[in-house]
Amino acid sequence: MLPLYAPLITPFTDQENVDLDMMSRNLEKYEALPLTGYLVNGSSGEADMLSQSERVALVERVSKLSRRPVLAGIVASSVVEAKRQIDSHEDLRIESFLIRTPGYYGGQFDQVDFFHQLADYSRRPIMIYQVPQYTGIKLTGDQLSRIAEHPNVVGIKDSLGDLSLLNEVSWPARFHYFLGASALIQPGVAAGVAGGILALANVVPEHCRKLLDFSVRPDKAEQARKLQQQLIPLNRALGGSRGFGLAGLKEACRLMGFEVGRLRSPLKPIPSGGTEQLQALLERLPNLQ
């Protein structure tokens, strides 16, 4: 069974404070759903909008309430700050760090050196987080090959939106390539991905799980193709570039019975008619029973 991680949303109070009680109640529901584990402080969790103390508090709450694997996001532009963030998780139960590519200074950054320094430093394994639609950084196949040579770099969450790098790079056997793009689950599994860390798994984890399971079975190829097609409209509506983005993701979670609170400003709320559109898309999804 291929692993499926949900990159958890971060609930906020009306005063825009992190609501750990909401997070706990959401986690209780996720624990009954077919997920392998959780990513805390990813893009879906509004990690850029949080202080480091808030990020650590979220990781601590999830890691104490669940025995499932927990990935902790690192959001830093410098090696020094990334090391500080790694240190702040010292006493917490996490499986590995998911470290986003630094992007503010673009091509002035040495991405290979950044990840190698952190891999040398961290007592826990690290993973690369590539999300060029937010960072502006698309790692080349050569850069990824060199980063992956380090024995403490164990994987990537690739939200690039295509599978070119999966096939371009000769990944080490110990390396795990996780999809970050829900629209590519079925073709990604056929190409050899290790699993998914998918925003869509916050909303419809059972459908994501079923699609992964169908996709690994040659005798279920047609069911996998059909379910992938059925999920694409919802996934597109939640996208950050063409869809409602974080506002849509949180609203879809709310429609599925999770507590989301509000977005932290200045993120825009879902536009008029968006809730109705998401509700219609959710109602069109197939019943898996």
Question: Domain range holding 107?
Answer: 4-221
Answer yes or no: is 246 within a domain. no
CATH number for the domain spanning 212: value is 3.20.20.70
For the chain, percent of residues with pLDDT exceeding 90: 92
Q: Are 44 and 82 in contact (CB under 8 A)?
A: no
114-142 tens-digit pLDDT: 999 999 999 999 999 999 988 999 999 99
**Is 214 inside any structural domain?**
yes
CB 4 within 8 A of CB 195: yes
Longest dimension (CA), the chain: 52
Structure confidence at residue 161 (pLDDT): 86
Is residue 165, in this structure, part of any structural domain at all? yes
As a whole number of angstroms, the distance between CA 204 and CA 224 comes to 16
Which tens digits make up the pLDDT trace of 162-202? Answer: 898 998 899 999 999 999 999 999 999 999 999 999 999 99
Domain-embedded: residue 258: no
Q: Evaluate if residue 241 carries a pLDDT over 80.
A: no
- Assess if residue 253 is contained within a domain: no
Give how many domains the chain has, as a whole number: 1
- State if pTM tops 0.75: yes
Are 90 and 119 contacting, i.e. CB atoms less than 8 angstroms apart?
no
The b/e string for 20-47 (b: 16+ C-beta within 10 A; e otherwise) is bebbeebbeebeeeebbbbbbbbbbbbb
| pLDDT of res. 289 | 67
Residue 284 lies in a domain: no
pLDDT number for residue 235: 95
Please state, in angstroms and rounded to a whole number, the distance separating the CA atoms of residues 207 and 241.
23
Residue 204 lies in a domain: yes
* Residue 50, domain member (yes or no): yes
Preceding peptide of 266 cis, ω within 30°? yes
Residues 6+ apart with CB under 8 A from 174: 151, 154
